[in-house]
Structure 1
Amino acid sequence: MPSTPVVVDAAVVLLGATVTTITHPLLYVKLLIQVGHEPLPPAVGSTMLGRPVLYLPGFFSYAQYVLRVDGKLGLFRGLSPRIASSTISTLVRGKIERRVLQSKKDEHQNSFRKLVQETTHDMIFRCLSRVATHPFHVMSVRCMAQFVGRETKYSGVFSCIMTIFKEEGLSGFYTGFVPHVLGEVLFLWCCNLLAYLINTYAVDDSFSQASTLRNYTKFVMSITLRVLTYPFTLVADVMAVNNCGLAAGLPPRFPVFTSWLHCWNHLSTEDQLFRGSRLFFRQVPVTLPPSVED
């Protein structure tokens, strides 16, 4: 029997929640690194060329430290808001995609017009999805960041909602929203346009594996551009914690930022715009100690 949209959405939601739960420890450790929490000393190592360097603890060492401090469930702080965010995003995407499929017209496979239409539809979805899910992202980030100062200010979803609304109003749910959306929109357009240009003008149809190569072009572009747009994600996560009453977002760790551009400039000055982009083989950055005077 054909599956109904409700059954399909339920299956996708369940799958998304499972993947979110499995990958949450990775994002948890990444978030702690993003806010500059380095509780373990670096270890002496060497590069492939034999040059001695200092390596900061990778994911496994960091995760073991969190387990020692918080126990077996320690790596799952902030999981419930992320599951809520994943569920809402899946439901919104499913409804929008069904509407797009119903109204989509047949066009030439490589037409630029089709590229613009599909990218525009995807951009609208991502913006709407971010509007709906960003409050849960803020809650999740703050729950995880409590590990730094051992606070208990943010716990469950409802407690987070009440605390944020009481202290910051509706604007508190959208701290870091602008850089997050800008990063996603920039990534989407650049990825699709570059993949289109390469597939149209660089891949020769006479090549026997042209179709296979075109299938991988967008995947390769997405990996490259995700790294280049990472600073937007970092700034969004730092802004979500900044000046919310947690040690992870207050001096001397960070100054109180007046805007996300202020945060960007501060991290750029400290040469830290890519902090947290790697979870393995993290070399100690050669920078000056962070300054609280900005």
Structure 2
Amino acid sequence: MPSTPVVVDAAVVLLGATVTTITHPLLYVKLLIQVGHEPLPPAVGSTMLGRPVLYLPGFFSYAQYVLRVDGKLGLFRGLSPRIASSTISTLVRGKIERTTHDMIFRCLSRVATHPFHGYAPCYQSDKSQVMSVRCMAQFVGRETKYSGVFSCIMTIFKEEGLSGFYTGFVPHVLGEVLFLWCCNLLAYLINTYAVDDSFSQASTLRNYTKFVMSITLRVLTYPFTLVADVMAVNNCGLAAGLPPRFPVFTSWLHCWNHLSTEDQLFRGSRLFFRQVPVTLPPSVED
């Protein structure tokens, strides 16, 4: 008996929720690092060349710290808005082939899911926004202002209006559009002019070109993700987004310039072998 579209969508929603749940601890730790929360001291180590260096705790050490503070469910703070976003994204997604149409869909999908979370199962993405970010960022100051989806909606709407749901929206969309166009353009140029048809594995190589380009460009467009996440928590009443940890930013460009000046535009892009930066943001324990 053939599967109906409803059954297929239900399966995709379930799969997306499962993947979101499994990967949530990774995103949670990354978010805490993005907002500059470093509660554990660095450890002395060495590079591959033997040069001594200080390393900040990696994912496993950081995750163990969260578990000690918040218990077994501590690593799943902010999960419900992510699952809501995953479900919405699945329901509104269609099969889109051309880059322009794909760009339009991503922008519309971002409008629908941005208040909850930027995750979409069909894309390689680790973005989180507004509700999910604020739920997770509460760990820094041990606040309880944001909890479930409906509580977050009521709190944000009451304090900030509709605009509060789209804090950090612009850098996220710009990052997505830049990523999409560059990825498709580079893959096209490589497949057209660099891959020789006489090569026996040419078709196989072309199939992997876009995947490799997506990994590379995700790294290069990471600052847009970081700025959007920092803006989502900035000046919302949580310790993670208030002075002295961060100034109150007037725009996402102000945030970008601040992080750039501090040489922190790629903070949180790595969860292992994190070397101590030149300047660390103040910790809530200080």
Q: TM-score range by the shorter chain?
A: over 0.9
**Shift in Å, 1:124:** 1.1
Equivalent in 136, 144, 169 of residue 116 of structure 2:
136
241-250 vs 117-126, which deviates more? 117-126
How far the C-alpha of 1:95 sits from its partner, in A, is 7.3
* Counterpart-to-counterpart distance in 2, 1:72 and 1:292: 23
Residue 94 (structure 1) shift? 3.6
> 2: CA distance between counterparts of 1:164 and 1:21?
24
Deviations 1:254-288 (A, max 9, x none): 00000000000000000000000000000001237
In 1: Cα distance, 2:39 partner to 2:99 partner: 42
Aligned to 2:121: none
Cα RMSD over matched residues?
Answer: 2.4
Alignment of 1:90-169 (within 5 A): 90-94=90-94, 118-137=98-117, 138-169=130-161
Equivalent pairs, count: 274
Q: TM-score scaled by structure 2?
A: 0.93
Task: Rate the CA distance shift 1:282–1:259 in 2: closer, same or farther, 3 A.
Answer: same
CA displacement 1:71-99 (0-9 Å, x = unmatched) = 00000000000000000011111477xxx
The structure with more helix, counted as a fraction of residues: 1
Q: Distance in 1 between matches of 2:112 and 2:64?
A: 34
Confirm or deny: 8 A CA contact 2:234 2:246 kept in the other structure: yes
Q: 1:135 & 1:121 partners in 2: Cα distance?
A: 23
Q: CA deviation at 1:121?
A: 1.3
Change (3 A) 1:76 1:290: closer
Q: Which runs of 5+ in 2 are unaligned?
A: 118-129
- Tell me the secondary structure at the aligned position of residue 136 of structure 1: coil
Change (3 A) 1:289 1:237: closer
Conserved? CA contact 2:133–2:232, under 8 Å: yes
**2: CA distance, partners of 1:250 / 1:35:** 10
User: Residue by residue, what CA displacement relative to the aligned partner does 1:54-80 show, whole Å, maximum 9, x if unpaired?
Assistant: 000000000000000000000000000
Give 1 or 2 for the bigger CA radius of gyration. Answer: 1
Q: What's the offset of the Cα at 1:125?
A: 1.2
* Alpha-carbon distance in structure 2 between the residues aligned to 1:293 and 1:25: 22
Confirm or deny: 8 A CA contact 1:254 1:292 kept in the other structure. Answer: no
- Per-residue CA distance 1:150-182 (angstroms, 9 max, x = gap): 000000111100000000000000000000010
Q: Which residue of 2 aligns with 1:99?
A: none
2-structure distance, mates of 1:134, 1:288: 29
Q: Distance in 2 between matches of 1:180 and 1:7?
A: 32
In structure 1, what is the Cα distance between the partners aligned to 2:20 and 2:192? 36
Q: Judging changes above 3 Å, is the alpha-carbon distance between structure 1 residues 80 and 166 closer, same or farther for their aligned structure 2 residues? A: same
Inter-CA distance 230–50: structure 2 relative to 1 (3 Å threshold): same
Partner of 1:33, secondary structure, is: helix
1:289: how far off? 5.9
Whether contact under 8 Å (2:37, 2:283) holds in the other structure is no
Question: What residue ranges of structure 1 are gaps of 5+ in the alignment?
Answer: 97-116
The alpha carbon displacement at 1:290 in A equals 6.8
C-alpha distance in 1 between matches for 2:3 and 2:49: 56
Query: Per the alignment, in what secondary structure is the counterpart of residue 53 of structure 1?
Result: strand
Is the contact made by 1:251 and 1:292 (CA closer than 8 Å) also made in structure 2?
no
1:184 to 2:176 alignment: yes
Q: Normalising by the residue count of structure 1, what TM-score does the alignment of the two structures yield?
A: 0.90
Identity score, percent: 99
Contact 2:134 2:146 survives alignment (8 Å): yes
